[in-house]
Structure 1
Amino acid sequence: MNEEFLLQAVGHIDEDLIAEAEEYRPAKRPSLRRPLAGLAACLAVVFGLYWGMNNLGMGSANSGSGSAASGESQQNSNSGITDNSQGSGGDVCPAIWVDGQLYWSTFQAISGEVEESAILGTTTYTDGLPDEDGEANFNREGTLYARTDEGIAVEIDGEWVLFTPDGP
């Protein structure tokens, strides 16, 4: 193909076709930006709510209404469990049910060792107050408990913590 051939080919185009080509506008394709922006906004709201519930204590059973700020909840460095007195926004003091009796945590570590023969078993978990032997409302994985002269000893974080029938 040379220039002369191209010039002849272009020269034989009908004027109506040239006018039609000048007026031609391609059809617009639908934009995906608007729906994707809406989807991104929805996901941002969902993740924001999820983060808020997990990190700000919203929606959890243990959140209470400012109990940590008012001093109702104190961490005992010896026991690894939280002292929540009954009636503080639904929180319950750690308790265990043994031989038809409810024992409450004193948050005090027992001095000395607990004899292996005194161990009664491993606790099972309940969300509310225990009402069956070996049931406890702390430590979902279960833990050893034993009878002592002072009451019931429960092994928590490698230490034996005293539980007595005296309520919180």
Structure 2
Amino acid sequence: MKKFFVLILCIFYLLGIVGCFVNEKEEGLSDRRPMIMVNDKIYMDTGNEIPVEIDASAILGTITSSVKNTEIPTQNGESNFGNVGTQYAFYKEGLVVLLQNEWIFFEEDK
């Protein structure tokens, strides 16, 4: 009887370890690159800071809504990284978004 009880405990222990491993793997794969939708196009964060001053007249708008970081935005002005109210503007072949007082370059997703 003692061996049976130990066997049951070992099975539960192994199931717990496997369950934690599967959960961690799924969470790691679910995060998407930060992105924003503007003019029905998705722009992806490059992580590159652009040292420019954007004129107020060049501002296209602000982030108006946000989806989870695991999702892709489906509406113009929507991001998957939060920051509702943050300004964005076209810049060269992409878009710049004002994050923490720095203009960050977003490239068009092709």
Question: TM class by shorter-chain length?
Answer: 0.5 to 0.7
Give the length in aligned residue pairs: 86
Residue 95 (structure 1) aligns with: 35
> CA, structure 1 residues 64+166, in 2 after alignment: closer, same or farther (shift >3 Å)?
farther
Residue 7 (structure 2) aligns with: none
2: CA distance, partners of 1:64 / 1:106:
26
Structure 1 counterpart SS, 2:57: helix
Which structure would you say has the larger RCO, counting Cα contacts within 8 Å and 6 or more residues apart? Answer: 2
Percent of aligned pairs with the same amino acid: 35
Aligned residue identity for 1:100? D
Residue 151 (structure 1) aligns with: 94
Q: Higher strand proportion, which one?
A: 2
Q: How far is 1:157 from its partner?
A: 0.6
Q: In the alignment, is residue 162 of structure 1 matched against residue 105 of structure 2?
A: yes
2: CA distance, partners of 1:148 / 1:93:
20
Question: Does structure 1 retain, via aligned residues, the 8 Å contact 2:35–2:80?
Answer: yes
Q: Which runs of 4+ in 1 moved over 4 A?
A: none
Q: TM-score, normalised by structure 1?
A: 0.46
Structure 1 window deviating more from structure 2 (117-126 vs 141-150): it is 141-150
Q: In the alignment, is residue 131 of structure 1 matched against residue 74 of structure 2?
A: yes
Question: Does structure 2 retain, via aligned residues, the 8 Å contact 1:118–1:148?
Answer: no
Cα-to-partner distance string for 1:101-133 (whole Å, 9 max, x where unaligned): 100001001121112111111112112211111
Q: In the alignment, is residue 111 of structure 1 matched against residue 51 of structure 2?
A: yes
2: CA distance, partners of 1:102 / 1:166:
6
Question: Does structure 2 retain, via aligned residues, the 8 Å contact 1:120–1:144?
Answer: yes
Q: How far is 1:64 from its partner?
A: 4.6
Q: TM-score, normalised by structure 2?
A: 0.68
Structure 1: any 5+ residue segments left out of the alignment? 1-57, 68-87
